[in-house]
Amino acid sequence: MTVSVHFLQAPTRVPWEPTLDKDKGFVLRSLSVPQDIIDLIADTLGGAGHVEELKACSLVHSAFLHPCRKHIFATVYLMPIGPPSDVKGTAVLGGRLFRVLQQSPHIASYVRSLSIHADTAPDLDWMLKSQEMSSILDILTNRNLRTFEFQTGAYSLWEFVAPSIRTSLTSLIASRQLEHLTLRGLINLPTSL
């Protein structure tokens, strides 16, 4: 089966009835599209890497929220200063991801792959010493995280990593769910890892 999703123009007749809410604008009260079709739309967009379109769909109706979030948060690139232009996932600034996970802890269950990169001294400082970083790792440990990538642009001694982050990294590495692990830039790692 081939599915094509196009967002060129609004259909002339829709299978739902939008209503005007003075605070939220137009809101869909009911949706008469089968859930398997909604899931197929989200899977098609997610498979093609259309994160912005998934975000838009997640706002259409609550029926789209879970299937879209499953793809939006599947691959997260955590960067203190912002993403490169070739990111094929959701790029999030470190502090923002921490706040999102605090406010909506269930989002952690959607994250399958987490990539953390830092190149500059302030970014390395945040990555290796901040309590937010430790908390993010703790929240994602023993959830559904399958791939973890931790890269520093300069070599950093394991001894200079904050104890809370060392503990969080050790727990994450020991997690049974973790299938792929990349640690670049950290030196003098204990052999027990």
For 13-52, b/e burial (b = at least 16 CB within 10 A) is eeeeeeeeeeeeeeebeebeeeeeebbebbebbbeeebbe
Question: Model-level pTM?
Answer: 0.76
How far apart CA 98 and CA 81 sit, in angstroms, is 15
Q: How much is the pLDDT for 84?
A: 53
In a domain, 12, yes or no: no
Please tell me the total count of domains within the chain. Answer: 2
Average pLDDT per 10 consecutive residues for the chain, totaling 193 residues: 48 50 56 86 90 89 92 86 56 79 93 88 84 92 92 89 94 93 92 82
**Residue 121: its pLDDT value, please?**
78
Is residue 187 domain-shared with residue 95, that is, in the same domain? yes
pLDDT digit string (tens) for 119-158? 777 778 888 888 989 999 999 998 899 999 999 888 889 9
Q: Which of 46, 72, 98 is the last residue of a domain?
A: 72
Owner of token pair 């027990």: 192
Determine the structural domain holding residue 167 and report its residue range: 75-193
